[in-house]
Amino acid sequence: MRVHALQTGTVLVKTRQREGVGRGPMRPLRTMLDREWTEPLPIHAFAIEHPEGVIVIDTGETARAAQPRYFPRWHPYFRLAVRVSVTPEQEIGPALRAVGIEPEDVRWVVLTHLHTDHAGGLAHFPRSEVLVSRTEHENASGFMGQLRGYLPQHWPDWFAPRMIDFPSEPFGPFPESVPLTDAGDVRIVATPGHTNGHVSVVLAEGDVLVFFAGDASYDQELMLREVVDGVAPDPAKARETLSRIHRFARDASLVYLPAHDPGAADRLAARATA
Ligand SMILES: [Zn+2]
């Protein structure tokens, strides 16, 4: 099956966002006040050319993020702790066309979570079925959503995703998952931590499992070290999820693909396992 890594620009965050320090409310505070920035990290989305229809995982960031008032200035995170760079040609629509996929032909868009660098390209998919976890959608909506660092004010007018309610259908070390395809070879797995409603997507290609990790960790090495990021609302839950993914990577042949991992595209092309 053809699987594409699409890069929709880059993002800089604080080094303590990638690798959190401190406890309780000090943790996000120390992330925001950190003076050190990461190098520019890729903002990846992925596309699977599945026989049942094209599946897109995350939609990357929008070029509109460069406009002065796109990010609310009152919010300390956007003011202090994130810098994005995306041109219109780097948005997911053109990125898909560059690999021969028309956005109109995308059947499903699965959002690992609703942070702007994952939901920013939604406007390219008015005809696709968008899936998001109900917990994530509730946490991201309204003014409380804005306080938590989401930008629901920028969702397209037509945005009415199919909510994922997780039954307890275990998959490997994960207690909750749902199948996406009839063939059962693509599953959506609950991976709470970075956000409470965060999900990952797993594609089975024979013995190899391609794991689209969203922001479960910022790169593979951090997952193998089970390092919790500096913005997770529930670090204990995040640690538990990372340890499940790590166990999964030991037991199965896992190609692990976080959205901001500079090595993700090469590992996907080589099907290099963790
Ligand atoms: Zn995120």
Distance 135 CA to ligand 1 centre (A): 15
Query: Could you give the CA distance from residue 19 to residue 209 in angstroms, rounded to a whole number?
Result: 26
Rounded to two decimals, what is the model's pTM? 0.96
CB-proximal residues (5 Å) to ion ligand 1? 115, 215
Residue 173 has a pLDDT of: 97
Which pLDDT score, from 0 to 100, does residue 167 have? 82
Ligand 1 centroid to 150 CA: how many Å? 9
Identify the pLDDT of residue 23: 87
Nearest-angstrom CA–CA distance, 187 and 211:
10
Q: How far is it, in rounded angstroms, from Cα 11 to Cα 38? A: 9
Question: Side chain identity at 46, as an amino acid letter?
Answer: F
Cα separations in angstroms, 12 against 18, 35, 117, 232, 267:
10, 12, 11, 17, 22
DSSP letters, 113-157, are: --SHHHHTTGGG-TTSEEEEEHHHHHHHSHHHHHHTT--GGGS-T
Question: If you average pLDDT over every residue of the chain, what do you get?
Answer: 95
Q: In what order do the strands lie in the sheet with 3-13?
A: 82-85, 3-13, 41-50, 53-57, 106-110, 129-133, 162-164
For 36-91, the pLDDT digits (tens) are 999 999 999 999 999 999 999 999 999 999 888 899 999 988 888 899 999 999 99
Helix (H, G, I), strand (E, B), or coil: what is residue 262? coil
Cα 164 to ligand 1 centroid, rounded to whole Å: 18
For residue 183, how far is its CA from the centre of ligand 1 (angstroms)?
Answer: 29
Concatenating the DSSP letter of every residue in 207-219 gives TEEEEEEETSSSS
Distance CA(226)–CA(13), nearest Å, equals 19
Residue 230, CA distances (Å) to 25, 67, 161, 264, 265 in order: 10, 26, 28, 21, 25
Q: How far is the CA of 187 from the centre of ligand 1 (A)?
A: 20
Instruction: Report the run of H or E that residue 57 belongs to, with start and end.
Output: strand 53-57
Alpha helices in 142-251 (DSSP H): 142-147, 220-224, 235-251
Q: Compute CA distances 96 → 42, 47, 49, 89, 197, whole Å.
A: 16, 8, 11, 11, 26
Q: What is the largest CA-CA distance in the chain?
A: 49
Per-residue confidence band for 224, with pLDDT thresholds at 50, 70 and 90: very high
Grouping H, G, I as helix, E, B as strand and the rest as coil, residue 80 is: helix
CA of 193 relative to ligand 1 center, distance in Å: 10
pLDDT in tens, 156-194: 999 999 999 988 799 999 999 999 999 999 999 999 999
232-268 pLDDT, tens digit per residue, is 999 999 999 999 999 999 999 999 999 999 999 999 9
The Cα 257–Cα 17 span in angstroms is 18
- Residue pLDDT, tens place only, 84-127: 999 999 999 999 999 999 999 999 999 999 999 999 999 999 99
Strand, helix or coil for residue 56: strand
Query: Using one digit for the tens of pLDDT, what is the confidence trace for 192-218?
Result: 999 999 999 999 999 999 999 999 999
Expressed in angstroms and rounded, the spacing between residue 67 Cα and the centre of ligand 1 is 20
Give the pLDDT score at 19. Answer: 87
Q: Which of 4-13, 25-34, 79-88, 230-239 has the lowest mean pLDDT?
A: 25-34
> What is the spatial distance between Cα 233 and Cα 137, in angstroms, rounded to a whole number?
15
- Counting Cα atoms < 13 Å in the Cβ hemisphere of 39 gives 3
Q: What is the pLDDT of residue 68?
A: 83
141 alpha carbon – ligand 1 mean position (Å): 15
Q: What is the pLDDT of residue 243?
A: 98
How many whole angstroms from 215 Cα to the centroid of ligand 1?
5
The number of C-alpha atoms within 13 Å of 145 and in the hemisphere containing its C-beta is 19
Give the N- to C-terminal CA distance of the chain in Å, as an integer: 20
CA of 204 to the centre of ligand 1 (A): 24
